[in-house]
Amino acid sequence: MTLQRAQPWLGTLVEIAGSGGATDALAPALDRAFARVAAIHAALGFHDPASELSRLNRSAARDWVALSDDMARVLAAACEFAAASDGVFDPGIAPWLVASGQLPRHAGCANDAAPDWRAIELDGDRVRFARPLLLDLGGIAKGYAVDAALAVLHDAGLANACVNAGGDLARFGDTAAPVWVRHPLQPTQRLQLAELQNGAVATSAGYYQDGGSPLRHPESGAELCSRDSISVLAPDCMTADALTKIVAADPARAPARLARYNAQAVRLVEISGELELGVCDGAGWRKVSYQAAA
């Protein structure tokens, strides 16, 4: 028996599917997995002025702020990705997205602060900002929530499960299953990307975005991924989620950064009517030819 449900969370549709294990454990396991996603949404969301993230954005420039376990883990990961990418990944770029109207402007926040992840002083389960910052965890929170929900399903003893938060997905199972990526210019068409048994895929692209891509180059603020898409396959979804932005912003340095996380990237770009595929791992980028299915 397979159960598959979907609910709106994290600004997108979250689909959770599972099968195997004890029959009477399946439905409660999906309930708990959705509850986990809901809790992460409530804590890490930027839009809600009452979220833990919003409290942090209002207060952490003044004094230490105590963190929930989820927030402590995601902030630590955000700082690690920022360091590993020399600031290409920066959770402090929210002011650019507030300025473009893609994120709401909350009272009492540093809405015009310059991004600077190095000003985040993380000390275990507390944090303070060395100077005013406005953080948005949209670059990794979805991936984190996918991993957390999948862990609930794994602990419940399911044999197969997949969590897909609007395109950022992770799965485990006793068999490999094909994963697909949307065509960057015709998003209702799909290409098969890989067969995945245990792992995650995340994609960044500009389609589905009203008013431009939310991905920005950390130095220039320029939009990224407006005509192409970057997918990353990685052991977990938070890593895949973060790496899509890092690869998009600095493709030349992607090989070493992907290798460090045991990840691979696929870039799809349409050049004068032809879809080009580039694949990247620790060995570098290479072009892949593909066959149109009959």
Partner 1 sequence: MSHAPAWLIVPALIAPAVAVSPAYAVQYMTTEAAQKQLFPEADSFVSHPVKLTAAQQDRVETAAKVRMRYPEQPVWQVMAGGKPAGWFVLDEVYGKHEFITYAVALDATGAVRGVEILDYRETHGGQIRNPKWRAQFNGARHGTALKLGADIQNISGATLSCKHISEGVRRVLAIHEVALKQP
Region 64-123 residues binding partner 1, contact defined as CB under 8 A: none
State yes or no: residue 5 binds partner 1 (CB under 8 A).
Answer: yes
State yes or no: residue 233 binds partner 1 (CB under 8 A).
Answer: yes
CB-nearer residue toward partner 1: 85 or 203: 203
CB-nearer residue toward partner 1: 157 or 178: 178
CB-nearer residue toward partner 1: 119 or 279: 279
Q: Between residue 121 and residue 140, which ones bind partner 1 under the rule CB under 8 A? A: none
Candidates 32, 275, 276, 285: give the one binding partner 1 (CB under 8 A): 275
Partners of 223 in the β-ladder: 216
Report in angstroms how near the CB of residue 187 gets to partner 1 at its nearest. 6
DSSP letter (8 states) at residue 85: T
Q: Are 79 and 67 in contact (CB under 8 A)?
A: no
Q: Which residues of 34-52 are buried (b: 16+ CB within 10 A; e: fewer)?
A: bebbbebbebbbbeebebb
Report in angstroms how near the CB of residue 77 gets to partner 1 at its nearest. 16
Partners of 261 in the β-ladder: none
Q: Are 173 and 198 in contact (CB under 8 A)?
A: yes
CB-nearer residue toward partner 1: 252 or 294: 294
Q: How many CA atoms lie within 13 A of 216 on its CB side?
A: 22
Q: Please, what is the Cα angle at 74 between 15 and 116, to 5 degrees?
A: 125
Q: Are 146 and 163 in contact (CB under 8 A)?
A: yes
Cα separation, 271 vs 210, whole angstroms: 23
Q: Between residue 158 and residue 197, which ones bind partner 1 under the rule CB under 8 A? A: 162, 164-169, 171-172, 176-182, 186-197
Q: Which residues of 126-154 are buried (b: 16+ CB within 10 A; e: fewer)?
A: ebbbeebbbbbbbbbbbbbbbbbbbbbbb
- Name the token pair of 217: 């180059």
Candidates 83, 121, 284, 290: give the one binding partner 1 (CB under 8 A): 290
Report in angstroms how near the CB of residue 169 gets to partner 1 at its nearest. 6
State yes or no: residue 283 binds partner 1 (CB under 8 A).
Answer: no
Q: Between residue 199 and residue 228, which ones bind partner 1 under the rule CB under 8 A? A: 199, 201-210, 225
Q: Between residue 30 and residue 49, which ones bind partner 1 under the rule CB under 8 A? A: none
State yes or no: residue 251 binds partner 1 (CB under 8 A).
Answer: no
Report in angstroms how near the CB of residue 121 gets to partner 1 at its nearest. 30
Does residue 228 sit in helix, strand or coil? Answer: strand
Cα separation, 44 vs 146, whole angstroms: 13
Report in angstroms how near the CB of residue 48 gets to partner 1 at its nearest. 12
CB-nearer residue toward partner 1: 27 or 222: 27
Q: Are 279 and 286 in contact (CB under 8 A)?
A: yes
CB-nearer residue toward partner 1: 67 or 162: 162
CB-nearer residue toward partner 1: 42 or 119: 42
